[in-house]
Chain A
């Protein structure tokens, strides 16, 4: 890849020392785990009023906002490095928390089934959660059970399988973080591939006396994308050749890695885009009947809602994009199959999808952010007043700026998507440049026209929901 990279570990030696330390990750995980335990406890034992419950406010407003607006766009999978959910299971496998305990990981050592070595399970898990999201987001008890369930499931997977199989193949949140981390300007990569090729012991995979092998089952020597790198830096600690860098790079570089694009990830892009639209319609729209369906007020009503939800996610949005790629192929004369164009161009929607989520999440923070102050003083909603702020009233903040911020976010996402779609089309058109009647640039432009139209249409839909 010709794009410039700045290795932060070479530029800032103190950062290298900090990252190589075995302390930072468990320390951060213990901190997030303490919040996580409080979230579960407040969810299970606290008030059922979501707006007065620490669990609801801190998970679905604070954590979500920090994750989607800051961590994913700028730091990729950094959350996965400090996420509390795999902590207890991983520490059980390792029989320790900080130091490298000698010997192999303790687990039954089952192998994850080959047909499931993709993110289809994560796609299904996310869709399942999303269908129930209106009730999960508003019922502390459900949030508490759900998170406790994740924790227990992660421990179970750590007992059955080695390393972070749960994070890599099961966690529904990890699935979309992986996809959107392709956008992030931060990457862990080897500095010189030849060094890895000649290095026979592969310490980054199997571990050393002071480090574990990659918990994400990734071989850094061939790593080209962020999708499955958990940024735990275990490979940095392991590499005896000092051949791993933490690079600053242009946003979205991984979206242009053409050899590893897959249908499961393409569908993740569609699901995330569709869900951000649907969440905006259901939760921010004025349609009470739709909220009633999503709120499971009747089983038949919810079944109708769930069916519609799945149809939009799995048929309508991908179907419309399929037609768009058929048109793109027809207009441009590209020789690649529609299937290939469909999968590849889906990655062009990743920036717009993330922009949609950010725009949606901004509404949450501006409107409901003030709930944070009282729940800090009374996390269970039991009438406590620990820091004297439990009676601070709900106050929406700076709503005058909200539409402008949403529009700017969506426009940045749209232009980024169109540029990415064009560059993906360029990759297809360059293969045929020698034989074409038109230049490869023209082919790419004509291939981009319909997909850019699709992205523009989606942006206008967002604008209609937020401002129209």
Chain B
């Protein structure tokens, strides 16, 4: 049992490092980023917005066909826009990662899947998840080579 735990210790330490090492050492200077997002059944255009942490994000939302909404996960943003009109949304991108923005007004059959993405860099969550995946796969292979199942 002690040998098994010792084998798992190095990958566990690496995994902790992957989870907690600071990734914003090369953070860009915050700027204001303006986007015009057009909502139409059942897509946002552009589909993906990329900003850096600390940026002030200004989104002008326009609906081109029917009434749409924009709900941004974890950013407490939820607006509704009528066709032919526009709404402006402003917020500071303080949380990093990928956040989906969704239509929040029932707009037709594919409404629940009308989704766009705001990626706030550095995307720590993705980088850490990739790191953990590689550590887990390698740890599993090392563990299996040292302690093959079914062998004493």
Contact = CB atoms under 8 A, between A and B. Distances in A.
A52 B133 contact: no
B48 interface: yes
A11 B76 CA distance: 51
Contacts of A367: 102, 112
Given A399-B73, A410-B133, A426 B148 contact: yes
Contacts of A422: 144, 148-149
A49 interface: yes
B31 interface: no
B145 A286 contact: no
Interface residues of B, number: 43
Contacts, number: 131
B102 A444 contact: no
Contact of A445 (B97, B115, B144): B144
B117 interface: yes
Contacts of A403: 97, 125, 129
Among B110, B116, B117, max chain A CB count under 10 A is at B110
A218 interface: no
B115 A414 contact: no
B140 interface: yes
A291 B140 contact: no
A448 B141 contact: yes
A394 to B, nearest CB: 7
Contact of B110 (A134, A284, A287, A368): A134
B14 to A, nearest CB: 14
A419 B140 contact: yes
Contacts of A441: 145, 148, 151
A15 to B, nearest CB: 31
Main secondary structure, interface of A, reads helix
A467 B141 contact: no
Among A288, A367, A455, max chain B CB count under 10 A is at A288
Given A138-B112, A295-B109, A467-B123, A407 B149 contact: no
Interface residues of A, number: 53
B24 to A, nearest CB: 17
B10 to A, nearest CB: 16
B113 A418 contact: no
Contacts of B74: 399-400
A135 B71 CA distance: 24
A327 interface: no
Contacts of A288: 40, 42-45, 47, 114
Contact of A415 (B45, B104, B136): B136
22 contacts: A48-B109, A51-B112, A286-B47, A286-B117, A287-B43, A288-B42, A291-B114, A367-B102, A367-B112, A394-B104, A400-B74, A411-B132, A415-B137, A418-B144, A419-B144, A422-B144, A422-B148, A444-B148, A456-B133, A459-B137, A463-B130, A467-B126
Interface of B: 40, 42-45, 47-48, 71, 73-74, 97-98, 100, 102, 104, 106, 109-117, 123, 125-126, 129-130, 132-134, 136-137, 140-141, 144-145, 148-151
Given A288-B114, A415-B140, 20 more contacts: A48-B109, A51-B111, A134-B110, A138-B112, A286-B100, A288-B45, A291-B114, A292-B42, A368-B112, A414-B133, A414-B140, A415-B136, A415-B137, A441-B151, A445-B141, A448-B141, A456-B137, A459-B137, A460-B130, A467-B123
